[in-house]
Amino acid sequence: MLKLLKLSFLPKSHDLGLFIFRVSVGLSMLLLHGRVKMLNFSSMVEKFPSFFGLPSNVNLGLAVFAELFCSALLIIGLFTRLAALMLAFTMGTAFYMVHKMALTGAQSGELAMVYLFAYVTLLFTGAGKFSADRA
């Protein structure tokens, strides 16, 4: 019974876990956020905020770059730590400056925070064995 509760019959593989984590986080960001921003760039640019003294079109372009290109790098596991750093910065900016660190309500930044923690985790762990970085 204890063996069943501990799931010890399943093989342990940190590398497989990192692969699944990296691909799922990368795909969700790429498909659900980056692609949407790219396809709706012209309509979103008017509402997108200006940060760091940069105009909104530049900030939106940087967000699209991170959410599309860096997510694709995560998925294949190439330059994983650099891609995770860029995505963590993007999500940190969204959480702090757009969502004002709110975790509830209409402007909740909960998802941005979850992505931020995921990217910080990958920043420290790297891609794992099943990646282009290891090849």
pTM of this prediction? 0.91
**Domain-located, residue 130:** no
Q: Is residue 134 in some structural domain?
A: no
Asked, for residue 102, whether it belongs to a domain, the answer is yes
Number of domains, the chain? 1
CA 114 to centroid of chain Cα atoms: 9
Residue 93 lies in a domain: yes
Residue pLDDT, tens place only, 91-116: 999 999 999 999 999 999 999 999 99
Angstrom distance (rounded) from CA 30 to CA 124: 21
Q: Is residue 28 part of a domain?
A: yes
Listed residue (113, 98, 30) closest to 65, CA to CA: 30
Domain range holding 56?
Answer: 13-45+52-125
